[in-house]
Structure 1
Amino acid sequence: MKKHLLLLAMLSLGFVANAQEEEKSAKDYNKFSIEANGGLTKANNPLADGFYTDIAPLHVDLGVRYMFNPKFGLRLQVGYDKMKGNDESIPFETEYMNANLQGVVNLGRIMDFESWTKNFNVQFHTGVGYAQLDGDRFEKSDNTMNFIVGLTGQLKLSERIALNADFSMLNNTGQDKNTWDGTTPNPEIRGFDGTLYNATLGIAFYLGKHAKHADWTTNADLADDKLKALEERLGNVESMLVDSDADGVPDYLDQENNTTAGAVVDSKGRAIDQNNNGIADDLETYIDQRINNGSGAAADNEVVKKLINDGYIAVFFDFNRSTPTESSTRNINFILNYLKLNPNSSMTVSGYADEIGSNAINNTISEKRAAAVKDVLVKAGIDGSRLTISPKGEDNSVDKNSAAARKLVRKVIFTIN
């Protein structure tokens, strides 16, 4: 018997461990419940002549149930019954302890109870286990294997608690002391030779982080969950396909998602700038046609203002330097021509530094960069009163560990006042 109990315990522990792993991946509903029941017991047969028993108010059981899905599950249950002779019987007292593993079928979900009720359910359960009988008339304990079958009615009190009403029949096989009173050994009878009935009331406590338990999860609930999952996936796809700068490259692939509308970009959304002067090639062509070649007809065009105010016309600097790079000359010339063609316009000249170095040093160098660009424009004929210096210090909008990214923030940009 000890070997059998050890085997059952090992199987049960393996089941619980596997169930816990599956619970981690459960998304739609809770799967575990703890169930405690108490009620009546009746040993039906066999009893020796002169021994009689009535329905006895002493049965208790405790179980842990795991549902693989809303229709099928497993229950590990232990129970205790105590029975004794009635007033017409020869006195006796017998204790019956059992442990069993049962399959559970949720009839309410299979039979679509949800079409007419949301709070009532029926479960069928059956399984096998081991038991031990002992009492004042037993010479020694009687170890048996048992078979159990029963029906459980459920009334949902809340999403965490249900009331259970159960009726079960247990049959023992291998009950060497054939009678429940323990007085008549008959080892030749080896079939299902001991029958016990239980009627109980109890409580099921549902465990888990989800709103519902599998007992009450309907096909409609599962369909809603799948629909929500599909909607979420579709929403993620739509978000990925957003193209903020309308350059034909979605944002999740776009490494430069602020290019001007209609700009020619590569497969990663970067404006094509073959001469590395900080201006996209197609934008540079526009500048040459409208500004740098002296055509003033569109000098005050809103597109031009937007290019300037949005920082597309920038002057860049090498690390720890306040002298513009050679490739930035064309950009300074753009600003120079704009100011000459629009003599009533003034500008703020904003200087920036990367994050390398202290704040004090970066504030100083950002001011020097703005001053250096202003000085170039003044020497080219622009009245200094039209230019206001604004040192901005560090620009922390890029990854400071990327040397390529830091080049983009060592700059001076312009704002038309």
Structure 2
Amino acid sequence: MKKLILGALFIGSIFQLSAQEFNKWSIDLGAGVQTIVFPGASGYGTHNPDFWQANIGARYMINEKFGLRLDFGYNNISEDDGSTPFKSNYYRGTLEGVINAGNLLNFKSWTNSFNVLVHGGAGISRLYANEPIDRNVDKMLHVMAGITPQYKLSNRVSLFLDVSGISNFYQSYTFDGAATTSRNGISGGLVNYSVGVNIALGNKEQHADWYYAEVPEVVSAEDFATLDKRLKGAEKEITELKAKGLNKNKLVTELDNRYAKAGTTGNIDFAKQLIDNGYVNVYFDVDRANVQTGSTSAINFLKQYLQNNSSAKAELIGYADETGPEGYNKFLSEKRAKTVYNILIDAGVSANKLSYKGVGEDTTATSSARQLARRVAIRVQK
């Protein structure tokens, strides 16, 4: 058992070196009923299913699709009605591989609350049969495999159901302890049915079970055309400034004043034009409501504009891309707009000058331009 634990910790410490944008560790706590498949002595039997069994597991996800789990379990085995009385205790420790089937099968396309894990592995187990016959401890090896549907309650807590089958090797006694067994190969089996809770550990927003990495997007010809149009507009601005006879230093200063400090009194109209034309947006990563680092300048831009234009008000409009259920996209888009709203309030902008809403999916963005869809757009009234 010590070697099993040390091996799991060693493997986990190696994979911990590769950082990801999600929590990797979690704890599973479960309990439920069992079905003893075989072997049993004549005249002995258990309820089907029989109460009770419990398990605790520590899980480490290498990435959002695959992980490892160290599981410990206990089964309390006793007679059913009409059987010869007996009591046995079964303990096990298992090292398993875990597959996040929900991520592999793209559950994100239709739900953000339901997931399925598949697990399997091997370990050691012990059977203590002490009534009516006090047997020596029965030492065995076993393999285990199961399926675990999950329901997400929060970013930290999920409920789960689990069905796991366990096959013992080298089991010497029946589960009731009343007889010996001479079976070769698989010499004992049981099935556990559990309900429990999974608790995520770490300081990231989501656990690997619910994290969906998106394939890098390819910029479409339409996106290139839009970028080209914007660049030509900027080149025109520079040409006009050069025509005024500005030297290099003055040119840089003027551009800085127009773009970085567009909220000043002399540039209010220009700032409003930039916002109205969609040049000022706040962007977000996939399934996130945290502002991308590069988008904080857009928030500062709006802050300066509002603080230097006392009559101006701004509406923050949140969007999501087309992936995910409609209801969740509406929730996420509003959460993004509220995030930008809170940042502006904390930065000193009056709440009377702001409003926000989420409208869900941005239907104007194609699948190849999802990054542009995950945003908060700004509408100003002067």
Scaled by the length of structure 1, the TM-score of the pair is 0.50
Partner residue in 1 for 2:175: 180
The answer on whether the counterparts of 1:98 and 1:130 sit within 8 Å (CA) in structure 2 is yes
The answer on whether the counterparts of 1:131 and 1:144 sit within 8 Å (CA) in structure 2 is yes
The answer on whether the counterparts of 1:138 and 1:183 sit within 8 Å (CA) in structure 2 is no
Instruction: Kindly report which structure 2 residues correspond to 1:244-259, keeping only aligned pairs within 5 A, or say none.
Output: none
1:142 aligns with 2:135: no
Larger radius of gyration: 1
Q: Distance in 2 between matches of 1:262 and 1:185?
A: 94
- For residue 6 of structure 2, the aligned residue among 6, 10, 32 is 10
Partner residue in 2 for 1:52: 45
Q: Distance in 1 between matches of 2:22 and 2:139?
A: 39
Tell me the SS of whatever aligns to 2:5.
helix
What is the Cα deviation at residue 57 of structure 1? Answer: 2.0
Q: Distance in 2 between matches of 1:120 and 1:6?
A: 35
Q: Distance in 1 between matches of 2:134 and 2:103?
A: 45
Partner residue in 1 for 2:197: 203
Deviations 1:60-88 (A, max 9, x none): 11101111111111100100010101111
Structure 1, unmatched stretches of 5+, are 228-259, 264-417
Runs of 4+ in 1 over 3 A off after TM superposition: 260-263
The answer on whether the counterparts of 1:66 and 1:73 sit within 8 Å (CA) in structure 2 is yes
Partner residue in 1 for 2:67: 73
| Aligned CA distance change for structure 1 residues 216 and 262 (closer, same or farther; 3 Å) | closer
Q: Distance in 1 between matches of 2:13 and 2:71?
A: 16
| Aligned CA distance change for structure 1 residues 211 and 120 (closer, same or farther; 3 Å) | same
| Aligned CA distance change for structure 1 residues 262 and 156 (closer, same or farther; 3 Å) | closer
What is the Cα deviation at residue 27 of structure 1? Answer: 3.3
Instruction: Kindly report which structure 2 residues correspond to 1:233-272, keeping only aligned pairs within 5 A, or say none.
Output: 261=247
Residue type of the partner of 1:40?
A: V
Identical counterparts, % of pairs: 34
1:116 aligns with 2:110: yes
| Aligned CA distance change for structure 1 residues 39 and 223 (closer, same or farther; 3 Å) | farther
What number of residue pairs does the alignment pair up?
Answer: 221
Partner residue in 2 for 1:30: 23
What is the Cα deviation at residue 138 of structure 1? Answer: 4.0
Structure 2, unmatched stretches of 5+, are 220-245, 250-382
What is the Cα deviation at residue 192 of structure 1? Answer: 1.1
Tell me the SS of whatever aligns to 2:27.
strand
Q: Distance in 1 between matches of 2:11 and 2:122?
A: 15
Q: Distance in 1 between matches of 2:216 and 2:41?
A: 58
The answer on whether the counterparts of 1:72 and 1:105 sit within 8 Å (CA) in structure 2 is yes
Instruction: Kindly report which structure 2 residues correspond to 1:376-391, keeping only aligned pairs within 5 A, or say none.
Output: none
Instruction: Kindly report which structure 2 residues correspond to 1:213-362, keeping only aligned pairs within 5 A, or say none.
Output: 213-220=207-214, 223=216, 261=247
The answer on whether the counterparts of 1:42 and 1:83 sit within 8 Å (CA) in structure 2 is no
Q: Distance in 2 between matches of 1:125 and 1:27?
A: 22
Deviations 1:20-76 (A, max 9, x none): x33xx4231111111100111121111010001012221111101111111111100
Q: Distance in 1 between matches of 2:129 and 2:207?
A: 41
| Aligned CA distance change for structure 1 residues 49 and 17 (closer, same or farther; 3 Å) | same
- Identify the structure with the greater strand proportion: 2
What is the Cα deviation at residue 208 of structure 1? Answer: 1.3
Partner residue in 2 for 1:61: 55
1:106 aligns with 2:124: no
Q: Distance in 2 between matches of 1:134 and 1:104?
A: 29
1:193 aligns with 2:176: no
Deviations 1:333-355 (A, max 9, x none): xxxxxxxxxxxxxxxxxxxxxxx
Cα RMSD after superposing both structures: 2.2
Q: Distance in 2 between matches of 1:27 and 1:44?
A: 42
Q: Distance in 1 between matches of 2:90 and 2:114?
A: 32
Residue type of the partner of 2:24?
A: K
The answer on whether the counterparts of 1:162 and 1:204 sit within 8 Å (CA) in structure 2 is yes
What is the Cα deviation at residue 17 of structure 1? Answer: 2.6
Scaled by the length of structure 2, the TM-score of the pair is 0.55
